[in-house]
C-alpha cells in the first residue's frame, strides 16, 4: 500500500527507534525511505553554547549543524542498508521544521510520513508545540507516529 516513506529524524533515542521501525515497515511493504533532517535556520532562536557560537562565529555554527545532520542521516542510512531497504537522505535549513517535513514529503512524492512522537512538556510545550503535532495538523499525507 505505501511505497515511499518520509522519516524525519533528529538523532535522539526515540528518533533512532523510529528509524528501526521504519526500516522494518518498509522491508515488509517493499517500500523505499527518505530520511530527513531539518537543520535549524541560522535565524532560529536557540540558547546556551549554540547561541554563543552562532553569534561569535556563524560559519562554524553552520559547519557544526551540517556535520550533525550528516552523522544522523548516515547512521539512519546504515540501518536501512543493513535491513536491505532502499533509502535516500535529505536535509534542509528550516525555521519551522514541520513545514520543511511536509514540503519534503511533497517534493519526494512520499505517501506516508513516519515520525517519532517528540513532545515538549509544560510551558515550553505550550509556547513551542510539538513538531509531530504540527505535522499531524497540517499534513495531507497519512502520518504514522512512533512512540
Instruction: Domain of residue 122: give its range.
Output: 4-146
pLDDT the model gives residue 30: 97
Task: Identify the pLDDT of residue 84.
Answer: 98
Judge whether 143 and 113 are in contact, CB under 8 Å.
yes
How many structural domains is the chain composed of? 1
For 41, which DSSP code?
Answer: P
Supply the DSSP symbol for 119: -
Predicted confidence (pLDDT) per residue in 80-119, tens digit: 999 999 999 999 988 899 999 999 999 999 999 999 987 4
The pLDDT of residue 103: 97
What pLDDT shows up at residue 51? 61
Phi first, then psi: what are they for 117, rounded to 5°? Answer: -85, 105
Q: What CATH number is attached to the domain comprising 34?
A: 3.40.50.620
The overall pTM is greater than 0.75 = yes
How high is the pLDDT of residue 94?
87
**Residues with pLDDT less than 50, the chain:** 45, 119-128
Amino acid at each position: 500500500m505505501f511505497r515511499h516513506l518520509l522519516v524525519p529524524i533528529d538523532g535522539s533515542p526515540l528518533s533512532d527507534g523510529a528509524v528501526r521501525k521504519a526500516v522494518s515497515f518498509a522491508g515488509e511493504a517493499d517500500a523505499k525511505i527518505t530520511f530527513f533532517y531539518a537543520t535549524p535556520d541560522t535565524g532560529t532562536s536557540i540558547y546556551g553554547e549554540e547561541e554563543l557560537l552562532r553569534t561569535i562565529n556563524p560559519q562554524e555554527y553552520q559547519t557544526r549543524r551540517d556535520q550533525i545532520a550528516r552523522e544522523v542521516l548516515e547512521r539512519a542510512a546504515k540501518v536501512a542498508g543493513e535491513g536491505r531497504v532502499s533509502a535516500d537522505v535529505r536535509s534542509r535549513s528550516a525555521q519551522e521544521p514541520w513545514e520543511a517535513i511536509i514540503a519534503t514529503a511533497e517534493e519526494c512524492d512520499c505517501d506516508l510520513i513516519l515520525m517519532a512522537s517528540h513532545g515538549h512538556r509544560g510551558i515550553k510545550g505550550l509556547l513551542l508545540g510539538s513538531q509531530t503535532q504540527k505535522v499531524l495538523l497540517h499534513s495531507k499525507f497519512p502520518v504514522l507516529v512512533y512512540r
